[in-house]
Structure 1
Amino acid sequence: MHPNEELIQKFYTSFQNKDGQTMVSLYHPDIEFQDPAFGLLKGKEAVAMWLMLIERSQNLTIRFSNIKADESKGSANWEADYHFSKTGRIIHNKIHANFTFKDGKILTHKDHFSMWKWLGMAMGPVGYLMGWWPALGNKVRKEALTGLQLYMKRKRM
């Protein structure tokens, strides 16, 4: 197994074990994370996001597969099952992740998933009907970022 494949495997194994400190230790100091829910996060924001998600997670189950990596780039598929805190609805999110590496760490991490499908699971029929509308996705992103900023302030990050 390539060392960067091992790095990705360690990242997701730590996620399964709710070990946020190990997860973020695998990130390069110049990390850039991006996904449809949070948008682009850099450095401390990316680190704080994972720590916040781990701390708040209840009934979270993570599975990962299809890890591939070479010297410069990598990818993996992962799935998350959890209850969305605002509605109590069950989420089963299927994500494809792309990575780049520098100095033996993850430099960029981009998660790709359908925001429309996620909104449908999180909000039910309204999410399915309105999930295609960019304003709804923007509202969710704004709420996620506000929550992240409050978390960072509370943790003095």
Structure 2
Amino acid sequence: MSTPEAALLERFYAAFARFDAEAMAACYHPQARFSDPVFPALEGDEVGDMWRMMAVRAQDFRLQPGGRVMVAGEGRADCVAHYTFSPTGRPVANPIASEFRFRDGLIVEQRDRFDFWAWSRQALGAAGVLLGWTPLMRGKVRGQAAQGLAAFRTKRGRPAR
């Protein structure tokens, strides 16, 4: 049985496959929250700006969709994001498990999970192999990502958080 939430996830993942950040951002509630191992606490328009920044930086992006499940107005979805990590030029295949909550026909919360150490080994090479499991490396990657998003938002005339 199709629901409005299921249709929204289909629209979101179709936009993700095209890496159409504007269409992805349009799927989020104004009070949306997003978290993953790199961006642990984005809110509101930061979520759309994260996708906009990533779309600008993406190289060789391809999305391999997985399963989607809707249960009592909440959703889960799996996919594998394939891309070249631009700072190192290394190829990445990142399996992502997402959980969604909805409000007013839009995504109000998205929690993405992936294996940070597996990601860091691919994206960062030797440094990821040696240090990717450590809180130090995770903190460094998070800090660089936050700085990148803040600079992107400032360039667009949005306040950095």
Shift of 1:71: 4.5
Q: Deviations over 1:79-119 (max 9, x none)?
A: 11111111111000000000000010000001000111111
Identical positions, percent: 35
Query: Is the partner of 2:41 in helix, strand or coil?
Result: strand
For 2:115 and 2:41, locate their aligned partners in 1 and report how far apart those are by CA, in whole Å: 16
**Rounded Cα–Cα distance in structure 2 between residues aligned with 1:84 and 1:138:** 18
Amino acid at match of 2:154: K
Secondary structure of 1:37's match? coil
2:141 aligned residue:
140
Alpha-carbon distance in 2 for matches of 1:20, 1:44: 12
| Equivalent position of 1:125 in the other structure | 126
The equivalent residue for 2:84 is: 83
Structure 1 residue runs of 4+, over 3 Å off? none
Structure 1 alignment gaps of length 5 or more: none
Aligned to 2:30: 29
Which structure has more relative contact order (CA 8 Å, sep 6+)? It is 1
Q: CA RMSD in A?
A: 1.1
CA distance in structure 1 between the partners assigned to 2:19 and 2:48 by the alignment: 14
Retained in 1: the 8 A contact 2:74–2:100? yes
Gap runs ≥5 in structure 2: none
CA distance in 2: counterparts of 1:87 and 1:146, whole angstroms: 18
Take 1:129 and 1:35, find their aligned partners in 2: how far apart are those partners?
22
